[in-house]
Amino acid sequence: MAAGASRVFISHLSGIPVFDPVGDQVGRVRDAVALLPSRYSPERDEGLPRVLGLVVEVVSRRRVFLPMTRVTGVESGQVITTGVLNMRRFEQRPNEHLVFGELLDRRVTLRETGEGATVLDVGMRQLPARRDWQIEKLFVRKGRGRGALRRRGGETLTVEWTAVRGLGVEEEAQGTANLLAAFERLRPADLASVLHHLSAKRRTEVAAALHDERLADVLEELPEDDQVEIIGKLRDERAVDVLEAMDPDDAADLLSELPEEEKERFLELMEPEDAAPLRRLLSYEERTAGGLMTTEPIVLRPGASVAEALARVRHEDLPAPLAAQVYVCRLPDETPTGRYLGLVHFQRLLREPPFTLVGGIIDRDLRPLSPDTPLVPLAGYMATYNIVAAPVVDEAGHLLGAVTVDDVLDHLLPEGWRESATSGGIAGFAEPEGAHG
């Protein structure tokens, strides 16, 4: 998008920063809001869809509405706005359509030939001498059905909005490839926010299209109601694969929200080695160290080297709190382990030569927690010792798992905080009543 560009394909806006007039970033674009016409009058140049504005996610994860009349520039991968953003939370009105959420992947019919096509992108232009924007172009791929889309076959072409029909009718089954492509670089928490704001039907379609590991990461960031809804719409075999890909503590939390019969069915379908730690976690009270811990901390034998420890810590899929320290135990080194000897902090690992054995640099002063430690003393323990993860050990001295600070915060925050976060409600702003203007 060059400076002063008057035509933009909307997928190029996904995730780009929004700046105020003095150059401060105020958020990122998450969607565009369009008003579809009931009829088109080419003689009067009326009836093309209007782009009313952009949905912008600000730093607090609140989603707000930025009218296109307040946009002064769309250039060089950024949006420039005039004045300050209205921090009133965005609420979609019944006659409005989200371009990313509802129009991408929509199947349409080309009026001239009657051929089916899939919408890959949507082009808008700024009207001369005005700040209004209209949708005038569609980038489509010929060929009907999601199978054609997956094979990426069929001719692609850019057509006028008026050259297709079917965009005003809700589809029974809509594709997801281009919506996911628009958001492929989002972190799981941000993609969870996108899913939370979709309709239930669209949310199910997108969740079904995500691969198991990606969906597992996103589920961990969603409110409980959304988690239960999505897992309940998956085939049992797929649901089990996703649960097995989740962190054990998060999977156990989700299972605890399901009806007893459904929970037991999923556990029976799991591989025994995956079901066993979940059953163990479900046996503890929810707001205790045992109920909050993960059963997959980094466990090393005392004869392991610092180089080995750093290699384990370096794993890209390891959450930051679990990478903060390693736990040294006798065999077996799967939880519940052999005798727990102590832990080694990440900073200590960085200060030691690579060949040093972890058994010789153990911190033995930090006492482990018992699995029945209540939430508030647990939080106090972590605050007292300035740690982000803590070992949980049974009466026989076996390491059962580790509690991380994110799970402690999850249960200390007010009930329903994830709904507030995904709706942008955690912010330093009062939320006025009413919808966007």
Q: What is the total count of domains within the chain?
A: 3
305 and 371 in a common domain: yes
Q: Is residue 13 part of a domain?
A: yes
From 163, 185, 207, give the residue that closes a domain: 185
* Domain that includes residue 277, residue range: 188-283
Gap between the Cα atoms of 119 and 115, Å rounded: 13
Asked whether residue 119 falls in the same domain as residue 76, the answer is yes
Domain assignment present for 255: yes
Q: Are residues 226 and 119 in the same domain?
A: no
Would residue 332 count as lying in a domain? yes
Do 150 and 98 share a domain, yes or no?
yes
Is residue 78 within 8 A of residue 147, CB to CB? The reply is no
173 falls in which pLDDT band (50, 70, 90)?
low
Determine the average pLDDT of the residues in 19-40. 83
Same-domain check for residues 312 and 270: no
Residues 180 and 210 in one domain: no
CA distance 170 to 307: 56
- CATH number of the domain at 263, please: 1.25.60.10
User: For 424-429, what is the mean pLDDT?
Assistant: 42
pLDDT of residue 298: 96
Of the two residues 113 and 86, the one the predictor is more confident about is: 113
Would you say residue 435 lies in a domain?
Answer: no
**Residue 328: predicted pLDDT:** 97
User: What is the mean pLDDT of the segment spanning 93-102?
Assistant: 83
Look at the pTM and tell me if it is higher than 0.75.
no
What is the DSSP track for 264-303?
Answer: HHHHHHS-HHHHHHHHHHHTS-TTBHHHH-BS---EE-TT
- Same domain assignment for residues 274 and 333: no
pLDDT band at 264 (very low <50, low <70, confident <90, very high): very high
User: Which helix (H) or strand (E) segment is 25 a member of?
Assistant: strand 25-35
* Closest to 392 (Cα-Cα) out of 412, 411, 377: 377
Q: Which residue has the higher pLDDT, 389 or 44?
A: 389
Query: Cα(170)–Cα(150) distance, rounded to whole angstroms?
Result: 21
Residue 427's contacts (CB-CB under 8 Å, 6 or more residues apart) are 58, 60, 61, 62, 87
Residues 6+ apart with CB under 8 A from 225: 419
CATH number at residue 406: 3.10.580.10
Q: Are residues 278 and 310 in the same domain?
A: no
Greater pLDDT, 118 or 179: 118
Name the band, by pLDDT with cuts 50, 70 and 90, for residue 42. Answer: very low
Between these two residues, 180 and 110, which has the higher pLDDT value?
Answer: 110
Do residues 110 and 164 touch, judged by C-beta distance below 8 A? yes
Q: Which pLDDT score, from 0 to 100, does residue 180 have?
A: 76
Establish if 147 belongs to a structural domain: yes
Say if residue 173 is in the same domain as residue 221.
no
Distance between CA 427 and CA 263 in Å, rounded? 35
Both 217 and 238 in one domain: the answer is yes
Q: Are residues 125 and 11 in the same domain?
A: yes
Q: Does 135 share its domain with 8?
A: yes
Residue 294 forms part of a structural domain: no
Percent of the chain at pLDDT > 90 equals: 49
pLDDT band of residue 427 (cuts 50, 70, 90) is very low
Output the pLDDT for position 344: 97
- In the listed set 161, 185, 209, which residue is the last one of a domain according to the structure? 185
Within a domain: 288:
no
Q: Considering the domain boundaries, does residue 140 fall inside one?
A: yes
